[in-house]
Structures are given as structure tokens and as C-alpha cells.
Amino acid sequence: MRVTELDTPVLTVDQDGLEANLKRYHQYFRECGIALRPHIKTHKCLAIAHAQIRAGATGITCQKLSEAEVMLAGGVCADILIPYNIMGAAKLVRLGTLARQCSLTVAADSEYTVAGLGSAAREAGACVGVVIELYQGRTGVESPAAAVALGQRIQAEKGLELRGVMIMPAPPGVRPLLQETLDLFDRQGLPHPIVSGGSTPSALTAHEIPELTEYRVGEYCVGGESHLRRGTHTVEQCALRVLATVVSRPAPDRAVLDGGSKTFSASMLKTDDGPSMGYIVEYPDARFTGASEEHGQVDLSRSVRKPVIGERVQVLPVHPCPCVNEHDEIVAVRQGLVQARWPVHARGCIR
Amino acid sequence: MRVTELDTPVLTVDQDGLEANLKRYHQYFRECGIALRPHIKTHKCLAIAHAQIRAGATGITCQKLSEAEVMLAGGVCADILIPYNIMGAAKLVRLGTLARQCSLTVAADSEYTVAGLGSAAREAGACVGVVIELYQGRTGVESPAAAVALGQRIQAEKGLELRGVMIMPAPPGVRPLLQETLDLFDRQGLPHPIVSGGSTPSALTAHEIPELTEYRVGEYCVGGESHLRRGTHTVEQCALRVLATVVSRPAPDRAVLDGGSKTFSASMLKTDDGPSMGYIVEYPDARFTGASEEHGQVDLSRSVRKPVIGERVQVLPVHPCPCVNEHDEIVAVRQGLVQARWPVHARGCIR
């Protein structure tokens, strides 16, 4: 079946582009001596996770417990990091069950989280590894001293194993904070076999932080409009594409696509030209400026060529992660031919 | 089971609030003499659609063909409007199949769409009703004269039945455009048994446009933060709520919830206080200012009381429609007790 025969809107991934990204990033991290631990939240898809393991990943990152359960059941790997404060009776039982089946590391930034993790580990008779998150705007402890205090608390909790620290994002500027924290850890005799950085935008500067032992990165494998604009991915390397159809041309300078926020997600990219919801490969001068739920609004005023009603286009979503989560499947294509339909196995795994 | 025993994040609907909204809006439209045709895109859920029919709806609105297929298979009703330009070989076959099973009306704003619909209707041996969309910023024909021309085109197409016009949104200000269009229709002998308005914000001013015969409205049934701020729904009438847990308090004035854009959608509400991603019922002075995929960022600087780690809160999403689409199920509750788990049957129905 040819890609052009697929009904739209449909999410596709170009396997050549995907494989090129895997090769490129895994080679970079190998050369840095940093373990690449892919974040599966981007694709939530067993086939792509398995490809990342084949490319050299020795472990994976999952943002939610349920994602980890799906990946483990799918045989992806037995070394999982969940960089999240996991709490509450229901989740802690599941955490214990998971920890009995794989090498599990989770994050913590509070004594409350640590106490729950400890109970869960002892209840399950399992070992749960813990890394302490350092605050960079999302979650995490506020200072190196607070990290040390929480590290000592973790060491005192039977069933838990202190494994180090994590930070998100990890641009080169975080190095002094990491160095100060690790120095304090060393002085207090706290172990830190894991020093984990994360985020795709700063991935290719990871070598500037030699303290890192591993890196969590998600969108590197498929890219998107933000990666194209940032220069880390070419159009060809932006492997994740929504095929859409122009269903209306209500004015000379406007085209309307058959997908909106329920196809691309409501995620917007701020650009010098205003907000963007995607990059249209065939019409690079067109601007995908907004969307309702099932309609995408395209401004054609700067595009000399203009699509006709019924015409199909390829759109690079702004950010792959929220876009993929809108879809039940990703159609794998190579050289314009459909190769497979990959379920988005961990779609909706929010707990 | 008590609601407080549900693991978080979880999407709930309060049945008392839902039923109060149905009663209130269906009564309003009955008094206006306008048929209320609920838009099921908001909830994508058979149980709520059936409740809307019980409340007096004689037909439903679906934004995509696949939503209509789900609703028809679920026995909701046999009078369906799809206010969308449907095109392409695969969809046109399905359209014909659907038209053989129910009274189907679809929208068109171009000759391209009309030609496809006509072929599909004849191929299926079915009648497809068509309304012409008048442009108000999304899709639609540009002028009353263009509407008349397209109406004549529809009348010339065997298998199609011209049923009138639709407009979206439909605040009182659109009345002159409607009047001008209908006057032209009358002069040309074009029928318009359906004059369809739409959108929740303008729903309760529908009586100011007596030309309307029916109204498409979605979010009225459950409300959300935007409806609370607009004054159409009280907190109690905002029936759709995400239960979330505070998983981190990384700074004195910050709390982090266990749900982000993959739980609430990336939809943002612009307010005088800046962007909002939801209203926290227990902490009305807190501001849910942003989110990453699985973390919600809450600014507590104006809230005297502050939640502790592990505490659960109820959050009204900004807009129900994109939020529901992130979930596999809606938990129905009444008086704090779980009544049912309703699958979001039409989740992911983008084609």
C-alpha cells in the first residue's frame, strides 16, 4: 500500500528518518561515554522502543508507572527509570510489583515520597533505586544541601538504594550546580552512580557536562518543527508526519486542514512570525497558525503556490510527544510504502 | 467506592451537575422553539449522548464521520449532522454506508465537496442532506451570493437534498448575514428547513436570532473554567473534573500536580491574570499557570492556604472537549460515590 492511499488525517513515521536519528544520537552519546536512556513518552510505542534498544540503549525512561508497565510487558528492557514522585496506596502497590520484575529507579524530591517508596519496597520485598531531582523549574529539591539531607533520608530507609541525582533540563549552565551537589555527596559518603541529565534541546551539548553518566531524551528519534527550527534535525530527519487533506479554501489566502488540536494537540510554538502549530513540508512559506479541534488554519499569504481543495500535505507537528498521544496508531512507512501499523501502546497511560 | 479512593489523575463527571445542565439548556431551547442538537465531540461518550437524547434532543452533531459511526452503532439516535466537508474515496464510501442507516446531514462549502457527496449518495443509493456553511472565520462560503450558487449546485446533484445553512459561531451579530442569505434563498426558491447555529458561548442568546431552527452545542453539558469565568456555569454546574494529587512542593509558593498536558490537554485560557490551564476548586486563589506533559504547575502566591504533598484536589479543565480526548474513560460520580466507568467511546475518532 502506498502512503498516498492512506485516509487522512493519519500519523506516520518514516523508518529511514527514524533509523538515521537513532544512529546519529546513539553514536554521539557513545562517543561522550554517556548512556542514552530514551524517554518512551515521545512515541509510547513498543516497536520504536525496541528499535532504541537495538540502537544501543541499555535502559529506558518512562514518565508514568503505567508506561513502564506497558514497556516491561512488551519485553523492551528490564532497566527502567521513572523520573517522577510516585505516591498513593494504589500506585505504591504497583511500584512494588514492578520493582520485583526489573531494575527500577524512581525520582524523589521530598521525604513524603521517600517514605512511601520505602514502605512499598519493603512490602514487596524488592529493591527500589532512587535518584534525587535537583530543581530547575519543574520539580526537585531546592539546593545541594537539601539533596544531601534527602539522600541521607533515603539511605536510612530499608528497601531503597540511593543511586544519585537527576536534573531537567540539562543545558551546560547546570554544571556548577551538579558539581556542587556531587562534591557534597562525596564529602558525606553518599553514592551517585547515576547522574542523569535530560531534554532533547540540550542533548547534543551533553559532552560539556562530563559529570553526566546518563541522559534522558525523547524527541530526538523523530524531531518536529521545533527541532527543525533549532537546527538539530533536517526536514528529512523530522520523521514523524501527519498526513492531512485541505478540506476548505474559504478565502484566497487561507486553507483549512482536516486536523486540528485533536490531531496535532493544542501545543503551539512561538516563532518570530507568530504562533505555529506545524510545518507544512510541501508549502514551507505557508503558516499553520491555529486550529479548532478538527480544523487546522493555514495562512497562505506568503506562499506563492497555494494548495487546492482535496490536496494532501505532510505536516511536521511542533512537538511529537503531545501529538502522538492524540493517536491510536503510527503508520510506519519507508520509501513511500506502508510497512506496518504500530499501536501507540501506552496512549492514555497517565497513572 | 468513594471518589476519594480513585487513583489520580482521573477524569470524573458529577451526574447531578450534568443532569442539571441538561435540564437547564434543553428547557431554554424548548422555550425558544429551537431544536437543541448536542455536539458529542465534547464527551465522545455513549452514556452522556443517551442522556442528552433522554433530555429531549431529537438529533446529534458529530464533527467526524467516525464519531457518527460510533454514536449510531451505540444506538444513540438516527438523526445525525456532521458539520464538516467530507471528501476522499475512503470516507465517501463510509458516508454512503452511514446515510443508508440514518437521516444524515453534512456541511459543504465548495463544489469539490458537493461533487464528492453527490457521487457517494448515488453510489450508495441513499439520500444525503446538505447544509451550506456561512463563513465566520473557520470554513464556509464567503457571501450570501456564494451560498445561493452552491445551493443551486446541490439541487442539481442527484442524491443530495439541500437542507439549508449553518453558521459557527452564532452570536446575535450574525443575524443580518443570516437574514440576507435566507432572503436570497427564498427569492431563488431554495429550501432551508435547517438554519443551524452553534457554539456554547453564544448558546443562551440563541433567542435573539429567531431565524434559527436548531443549535449545535457541546460543552454546555459539563462546563469548565471558561464557562465559570463567563458566568454561564457555577462551580457546581462545572460537572467535569480532573482529580489530581499534589506530588511536589518545590518552593513555598509552588505546587505541582500529577497531571499536565496529557491529562488536561495543552489548551490554555487567556485571563487578566495570565494563562490558565484549570480552576482548582479547593484553592480558588491558586493559579494553574502551566504544565509539562505529566506535571501541572500551580502558583500559590495569592493563596493563603496551601496544599501539602499528597493532597488531592479537583480541577475544572479550561475546555472539556480537548481534555476528554486525553482520557480512555470518564468516571461517573454522584454524591461522592462512584456510579460507573464510562468509556470515551469515540476517543481518537479523527477520520
Q: What is the pLDDT of residue A82?
A: 98
A269 reaches B (C-beta below 8 A): no
Q: What is the pLDDT of residue A252?
A: 96
Eight-class DSSP state of A41: G
Q: What is the pLDDT of residue B333?
A: 98
A32-87 pLDDT, tens per residue? Answer: 999 999 999 999 999 999 999 999 998 999 999 999 999 999 999 999 999 999 99
Q: What is the pLDDT of residue A147?
A: 98
A253: left (phi > 0), else alpha (psi -120 to 50), else beta? Answer: alpha
Please tell me whether residue B8 adopts helix, strand or coil conformation: coil
| ipTM entry | 0.96
pLDDT, mean of residues B196-208:
95
Q: State CA B47 to chain mean position distance.
A: 15
Q: What is the pLDDT of residue B110?
A: 98
A107-146 pLDDT, tens per residue? Answer: 999 999 999 999 999 999 999 999 999 999 999 999 999 9
Question: Mutating which of B5, B117, B138 best tests the A interface, going by the most A Cβ atoms within 10 A?
Answer: B138
Q: Mean of the per-residue pLDDT values for chain B?
A: 97
Q: What is the pLDDT of residue B225?
A: 97
d(CA B298, CA A84): 17
B45-69 pLDDT, tens per residue? Answer: 999 999 999 999 989 999 999 999 9
Q: How far is A348 from chain B (nearest CA, A)?
A: 6
Decide: residue B125, CB within 10 A, 0-12 exposed, 13-18 middle, 19+ buried.
Answer: exposed
d(CA A320, CA A228): 12
Using a pLDDT cut of 70, give the percent of chain B over it: 100
CB contact under 8 A, A262 and B327: no
Q: Give, in order, the Cα–Cα distances in Å from A243 to each of A258, A298, A316, A330, B351.
A: 9, 15, 9, 11, 12
pLDDT, mean of residues B131-158:
97
Please choose, from the candidates B244, B280, B222, the residue with its C-alpha nearest in 3D space to the C-alpha of residue B14: B222
B-chain residues near A9 (CB < 8 A): 350-351
| C-alpha cell read off for B172 | 446575535
Q: How far is A31 from chain B (nearest CA, A)?
A: 30
A105 reaches B (C-beta below 8 A): no
Q: What is the pLDDT of residue A192?
A: 98
| C-alpha cell read off for B54 | 433522554
A12 reaches B (C-beta below 8 A): no
Of B139, B268, B321, the CB nearest to A256: B139
Number of alpha carbons in the 13 Å side-chain half-sphere of residue B311 = 15
According to DSSP, the β-strands at A103-108 and A79-82 are parallel
pLDDT, mean of residues B96-119:
98
Q: What is the pTM of this model?
A: 0.96
Q: Which helix (H) or strand (E) holds B75?
A: none
CB contact under 8 A, A350 and B88: no
| C-alpha cell read off for B61 | 452533531
Interface of A with B in 236-255 (CB under 8 A): 245, 247-251
d(CA B285, CA B300): 7
A-chain residues near B250 (CB < 8 A): 109, 135, 138-142
CB contact under 8 A, A245 and B87: yes
Of B138, B139, B259, the CB nearest to A350: B259
Question: Mutating which of A253, A262, A308, A323 best tests the B interface, going by the most B Cβ atoms within 10 A?
Answer: A262
Q: What is the pLDDT of residue A159?
A: 98
Residue contacts between A and B (CB atoms, under 8 Å): 152
Of A142, A265, A292, the CB nearest to B138: A292
The answer to whether the beta carbons of residues B129 and B104 sit under 8 Å apart is yes
The answer to whether the beta carbons of residues A344 and A44 sit under 8 Å apart is yes
Please tell me whether residue A173 adopts helix, strand or coil conformation: helix
10 Å Cβ neighbour count for B72? 18
B-chain residues near A139 (CB < 8 A): 247-248, 250, 256, 295
Helices (H), A102-169: 111-124, 144-155
pLDDT, mean of residues A219-248:
97
Structural domains in chain B, CATH included, are 3-9+225-343 (2.40.37.20), 34-221 (3.20.20.10)
B69 reaches A (C-beta below 8 A): no
Q: Which helix (H) or strand (E) holds B262?
A: helix B261-264
Q: What is the pLDDT of residue B44?
A: 98
d(CA A316, CA A224): 5
Give the residue from chain A lying closest to B113, CA to CA.
A247
d(CA B303, CA B290): 17
Q: What is the pLDDT of residue B52?
A: 98
Q: Give, in order, the Cα–Cα distances in Å from B347 to each of A292, B241, B327.
A: 16, 18, 8
Give the residue from chain B lying closest to A141, CA to CA.
B250
d(CA A101, CA B77): 48
Confidence band, pLDDT 50/70/90 cuts, at residue A302: very high
Q: How far is B143 from chain A (nearest CA, A)?
A: 10
Interface of B with A in 125-144 (CB under 8 A): 135, 138-142
| C-alpha cell read off for B48 | 452522556
The answer to whether the beta carbons of residues A79 and B278 sit under 8 Å apart is no
CB contact under 8 A, A266 and B262: no
Question: Mutating which of A12, A199, A268, A293 best tests the B interface, going by the most B Cβ atoms within 10 A?
Answer: A293
